Amino acid sequence: MNATDSARAARKAAGPLARTDSSERRAALDAMAAALNDNQAAIFEANEQDLRNARENGLSAPLVARLSLDAKKLRGLVEGLGTLRDLSDPLGAIQVRRELAPGLVLERVSCPIGVIGVVFESRPDALVQIASLCLKTGNACLLKGGSEALETNRKLHAVLAEATAKAGMPDGWIQLLESRQDVDEILSLDREIDLLVPRGSNAFVRSISERTRIPVMGHAAGICHLYLDVAANAEMAAAIAVDAKTQAPATCNSIENLLVHAEAAPTVLPTVAAALRAAGVRLLGDEAARRVVPDMEPATADDWDTEYLAPTLSVKTVPSLQAAVAFVNEHGSRHTDAIVTDNRAAAEEFIASVDSADVFWNCSTRFADGFRFGLGAELGIATGKLHARGPVGPEGLTTYKWVLRGSGQTVAPFADGAQRFTHRDLPTTGGAK
C-alpha cells in the first residue's frame, strides 16, 4: 500500500473508530497489552535484526541503547497501556450545554480529531505509546518511526493491528509509513489527514511545517531559560540549575541559558557555577559573568540561540527582571522558562510576562512533561499557541463538535424579533476539554 492509500484507509477507519464507545476502546487497549506479551519472542527477534544492522552501520552506543527493546522496556509498555486504559474517557464530554430557546438545546461535545500523522524518533517503544494514545482518543493514525527501527516497528505494527482488529476496532485505523518519501507524499493530503505531529530536529520540524497545509503540532526547538532574580536563594538556585541542566541534558525541557540579575551575580553565581561544574557542566559566560566567575569560557553571540542538548550552559547577566523577560521572549522557544526568587511579586511579574507554554517559579524546568503534570500520557510538547500548548496529553488529541437539537426551529422569527433567545446554561458533564 502506498502512503496515499494508507491515508485513505485511515480516513475510512476514522469514522467507525470515533463511534466506538469507551469500553470497546478499553478492551482494545487490553488486547494490545496481551498481544505484546504473547508475541514477545517475535518482537525481540525483529528488534535483534535492527540492532545487528545498527551495529554494522556503526551506530553509537547511546543510539543502540535507545533502539533496543528488551523485556524490561516491554513490561513498561504493558504497564503504560494499563494506565491509559484506566484514564477517564476523553470523548463524549459535554463541555457546554445551553438552551437557546424552548425546545432548542445546544451542546459542545468532545470528539476525536480524526486522522493524525506522527513522525517519531528511533525508539520503537514510541510506536506503542503513540498508537495507544491515539486509540484511547479515538483517532486513526499514520505512524512513521526511525528507519533504524524498521523491523521492530513492522512487527509491532502487525501485532497491534491484528490484536485491535480482533477486539473490534475498524480495519486500517493504524497505518505504518516506512520512508521519508512516504512522509513527503502525505504532506499534500489535507483532506485525509487532520493533524501532523513531527518529533525530531529543529530543521526537520520546520521543513515539515513549511511544506504542508495540514496543521502541525509540536516544537522545533527547546531553548529554555533559568533566571536567577536579585532575590534568588543561592542554594535553591544551584540545585535547580543542576537538575534543569544535567538530569537529562538531551531533552527539550533542559535549560540552555542561565540569566542572572547583575546585582545577584556576585553573591549567587559563584555557588551556582561551582555546583554546575561539580556536575560536569561546561560554562560559557558573558563579560560581566566572567568577572564574577573568571574561569568561564567566553560566550559568543550564537550561544544565546543554541540548543546544546549536552552539558553546556551559557550564562548571562541582565540589569533587571524586565531585561530577563525581554531576553527570554526574544531568544527562547516559547517552551519552558523558570525564575528563582524569594520575591513573590517578581515571580508573578515573570509569570505574567514570559510568553511561553510553561512558566515556572522556584522549581526545575524538567517538570515540563505530561506524566509529571498528571496528564497520564504525553504525545509531545507543543510550543504553538493554538489548540494544545505545553505537554500534550489525551485532551490535546480531541476536538469538539457543536450539536443543536431542535423541534423545527427556524432563524427568521428570531431575526424579525417575534422570538427571543433564552441563552440559559444547563448542567454539563465537564470532563475533557
Applying the rule CB under 8 A, the residues between 305 and 334 that interact with a copy of itself are 329
Q: How far is the CB of 396 from a copy of itself (least distance, A)?
A: 9
Give the span between the Cα atoms of 254 and 282, in whole angstroms: 14
Of residues 55-84, which lie at the interface with a copy of itself (CB under 8 A)? none
> With binding defined as CB under 8 A, does residue 176 bind a copy of itself?
no
Among 104, 141, 255, 269, binds a copy of itself (CB under 8 A): 104
> With binding defined as CB under 8 A, does residue 39 bind a copy of itself?
no
Going by C-alpha positions, the residue among 337, 140, 124, 103 that lies closest to residue 229 is 337
Q: How far is the CB of 217 from a copy of itself (least distance, A)?
A: 7
Q: How far is the CB of 430 from a copy of itself (least distance, A)?
A: 9
> With binding defined as CB under 8 A, does residue 194 bind a copy of itself?
yes
The residue (of 262 and 326) whose beta carbon lies closer to a copy of itself is 326
Structural contact between residues 7 and 142, judged by C-beta atoms closer than 8 angstroms = yes
Of residues 106-125, which lie at the interface with a copy of itself (CB under 8 A)? 106, 113-114
Going by C-alpha positions, the residue among 193, 256, 248, 179 that lies closest to residue 225 is 256
Phi, psi of 115 (to 5 degrees): -125, 125
> With binding defined as CB under 8 A, does residue 412 bind a copy of itself?
yes
Among 1, 2, 5, 19, binds a copy of itself (CB under 8 A): 19
> With binding defined as CB under 8 A, does residue 418 bind a copy of itself?
no
Give the DSSP H or E segment for 353: helix 344-353
Angle CA 15–19–23, to nearest 5: 140
Structural contact between residues 90 and 189, judged by C-beta atoms closer than 8 angstroms = no
Give the DSSP H or E segment for 68: none
> With binding defined as CB under 8 A, does residue 361 bind a copy of itself?
yes
> With binding defined as CB under 8 A, does residue 384 bind a copy of itself?
yes
The residue (of 40 and 362) whose beta carbon lies closer to a copy of itself is 362
What are the Cα distances from residue 201, in Å, to 143, 222, 320?
A: 17, 10, 33
Q: How far is the CB of 77 from a copy of itself (least distance, A)?
A: 18
Q: How far is the CB of 412 from a copy of itself (least distance, A)?
A: 5
Of residues 207-266, which lie at the interface with a copy of itself (CB under 8 A)? 209-210, 213, 215, 217, 233, 236, 239-240, 242-244, 247
Among 40, 367, 419, 431, binds a copy of itself (CB under 8 A): 367
Q: Which stretch binds a copy of itself (CB under 8 A): 151-159, 162-170, 307-315, 353-361?
A: 353-361
Going by C-alpha positions, the residue among 58, 102, 332 that lies closest to residue 219 is 332
> With binding defined as CB under 8 A, does residue 32 bind a copy of itself?
no
Give the DSSP H or E segment for 248: none
Among 41, 61, 71, 411, binds a copy of itself (CB under 8 A): 411
The residue (of 145 and 396) whose beta carbon lies closer to a copy of itself is 396
Per-residue contact track with a copy of itself, 331 to 350, x per CB under 8 A?
----------------x---
> With binding defined as CB under 8 A, does residue 421 bind a copy of itself?
yes
SS (H, E, C) 221-245: CCCEEEEECCCCCHHHHHHHHHHHH
The residue (of 60 and 385) whose beta carbon lies closer to a copy of itself is 385
Structural contact between residues 304 and 285, judged by C-beta atoms closer than 8 angstroms = no
SS (H, E, C) 117-165: EEECCCCHHHHHHHHHHHHHCCCEEEEECCHHHHHHHHHHHHHHHHHHH
The residue (of 72 and 405) whose beta carbon lies closer to a copy of itself is 405
Q: How far is the CB of 383 from a copy of itself (least distance, A)?
A: 11
Give the span between the Cα atoms of 282 and 420, in whole angstroms: 69
> With binding defined as CB under 8 A, does residue 408 bind a copy of itself?
yes
SS3 label, residue 115? strand
What are the Cα distances from residue 258, in Å, to 136, 165, 284, 287, 289?
A: 39, 51, 10, 14, 10
